[in-house]
Structure 1
Amino acid sequence: MTVKIYQGNDHQLEPSDINIVIDVIRAFTVAHYAFLNGAKEILLVGTVDEAFKLKDMHPHYLLAGEVKGLAIEGFDLDNSPNRIASQRIEDRTLVQKTTNGVKATLHSLNANAVFVTGFSNARTTASHIRDTAKSPGKELQINIIASHPTSDDDLACAEYMKGIIEEREVLTANDVAERIRASQVAQKFFDASKPEFDCKDISFCTRELNGGFVMKVNKSNVIPTIERLEI
């Protein structure tokens, strides 16, 4: 297999077998905890207007996300894994709009299979892809997209996953957690003058869990939808 890493949220990639989109801080850490907390599915939209139109048509949907890291007025939920972990969302459909992770995913649908993850589910996801990609006689193309254009948190996670998939790990989980905490995007969470950013979120973003599932994007829906795939 060939595994390539890309950084940014607006790539126009060539067709591939598997695309993995990473958003550690915080979109796909939020998605992971949403599923751990019983969410049914997560619809991905590119604009705030699209999210509100879906809410008008389906009032029981929950809108979740951010613009430039900040909560969106009129949304039911923001982009905090700390807060999503305590919400009653069993069997609910979420609609997610975020600056990097969702945007990168919507630009990465040109693959036979698309997965999303934060660091919390990175090893589970990478191990699943490694094990299922071992197809005799076929050279698979796997792209890993670190969705933040400049920060090291997603890139560290991408390098970690690449090592797992290729069975030549060079980074430990602790290495990645330290790079996430030291990353550009994490710093505002430790800034007391910016209380809108919850420092507890970084603890969620740097903690590995094994929920026994991966997050796969169903591209056959009119709206791309993250679904929980048990493994």
Structure 2
Amino acid sequence: MKATIYQGHCPRLPRADVNIVIDVVRAFTVAHYAFLRGAREIILAETEGQAFLLKEKNPDYLLAGEIRGLPIPGFDFDNSPAKMAAADVRGRTLVQKTTNGVKAALNALDADGVFVTGFSNARATAECVLELWPPGSTVNIIASHPDGDDDLACAEYIKGILQGQDFISGEAVAGRIRRSGPARKFFDTLQPEFQAEDIDYCTRELTGGFVMHVDCKGELPTIVRVDYDELYRIEPAGKRSEAEV
């Protein structure tokens, strides 16, 4: 596959078959754990105002996100994967607004398939793309933090899987995440609002049976969980899943 890495939440992207948007610290690690806890879907909100309006119209929705890494007053959850890993969100719709990951995803909707991931679900995401799209397909891999090595390391990891090359090991990716600029504040005792436990979740690669696909058919782009045995729900141009044959 032809895979190209872009960095930042608003890069100018060429049209591709697939866009994979990465936010390791912490948005799409949070999303991954929300689905592991049974969340139904995650709506991507462009602004706080849009998130609050959705909540006003749908009181059962739960708001999750951050501004400059800090909790948003009035939101139900901040951007902590450690907290989400213990949350009761089964069957609930979440609305997510974050500085980098959500913004990057909203900037990357022009593709046949759009996926979001942290490191925790990176291999599953890459393997899904390999399963559904034929050789020669084009993939944009977006490391959403403008200068963070956490997302860049994860992007290189995904690119290596897509191209069948051992660019970087999972262990090396985890080490780069821990040493990255975005992770540094989580180990700073002078910034107690950031907990080191979150980085433990961000560096833990999980073997899971699903991917996080962005569904653009509704009113707003929405992340949905697609289990491996339901990959036929994703319909890339040029190839249908073997599960559908």
TM-score, normalised via structure 2 length: 0.92
Runs of 4+ in 1 over 3 A off after TM superposition: none
Question: 1:21 corresponds to which residue?
Answer: 21
Question: 1:197 corresponds to which residue?
Answer: 194
- Could you tell me how far apart the structure 2 residues matched to 1:211 and 1:75 are? 28
Q: Work out whether 1:72 is the aligned partner of 2:69.
A: no
Letter in 2 for 1:48: E
Within-5 A mapping of 1:54-203 = 54-134=54-134, 139-203=136-200
Deviation at 1:133, TM superposition (A): 1.9
What stretches of structure 2 of length at least 5 have no aligned partner?
A: 229-245
Task: State the SS of the aligned residue for 2:42.
Answer: strand
Task: State the SS of the aligned residue for 1:186.
Answer: helix
Letter in 1 for 2:80: S
Question: 2:222 corresponds to which residue?
Answer: 225
Q: Work out whether 1:2 is the aligned partner of 2:27.
A: no
Deviation at 1:12, TM superposition (A): 2.9
Task: State the SS of the aligned residue for 2:168.
Answer: coil
Query: Over residues 202-221 of structure 1, what are the superposed CA-to-partner deviations in whole Å (9 max), with x where a residue is unaligned?
Result: 00000000120000000111
- Could you tell me how far apart the structure 2 residues matched to 1:180 and 1:141 are? 26
Deviation at 1:130, TM superposition (A): 1.6
- Could you tell me how far apart the structure 2 residues matched to 1:177 and 1:26 are? 14
- Could you tell me how far apart the structure 2 residues matched to 1:120 and 1:229 are? 16
TM-score, normalised via structure 1 length: 0.97
Query: Over residues 153-210 of structure 1, what are the superposed CA-to-partner deviations in whole Å (9 max), with x where a residue is unaligned?
Result: 0000000000001111221110000000000010000001111111100000000001
- Could you tell me how far apart the structure 2 residues matched to 1:169 and 1:129 are? 17
Query: Over residues 34-89 of structure 1, what are the superposed CA-to-partner deviations in whole Å (9 max), with x where a residue is unaligned?
Result: 00000000000110000000000000000000001000000000000000011110
Residue 212 of structure 1: which of 202, 209, 229 is its match? 209
Letter in 2 for 1:23: D
Question: 2:36 corresponds to which residue?
Answer: 36
- Could you tell me how far apart the structure 2 residues matched to 1:173 and 1:146 are? 16
- Could you tell me how far apart the structure 2 residues matched to 1:28 and 1:20 are? 11
- Could you tell me how far apart the structure 1 residues matched to 2:104 and 2:225 are? 19
Task: State the SS of the aligned residue for 1:154.
Answer: helix
Deviation at 1:134, TM superposition (A): 2.6
Letter in 2 for 1:102: V
Give the RMSD, CA atoms, in angstroms.
0.8
More divergent stretch after superposition (178-187 vs 6-15): 6-15
Task: State the SS of the aligned residue for 2:181.
Answer: coil
- Could you tell me how far apart the structure 2 residues matched to 1:210 and 1:125 are? 11
Percent identity, aligned pairs only? 57
What stretches of structure 1 of length at least 5 have no aligned partner?
A: none
- Could you tell me how far apart the structure 1 residues matched to 2:11 and 2:218 are? 22
Task: State the SS of the aligned residue for 2:182.
Answer: coil
- Could you tell me how far apart the structure 2 residues matched to 1:172 and 1:229 are? 26
Conserved 8 A contact 1:190-1:199: yes
Deviation at 1:222, TM superposition (A): 1.1
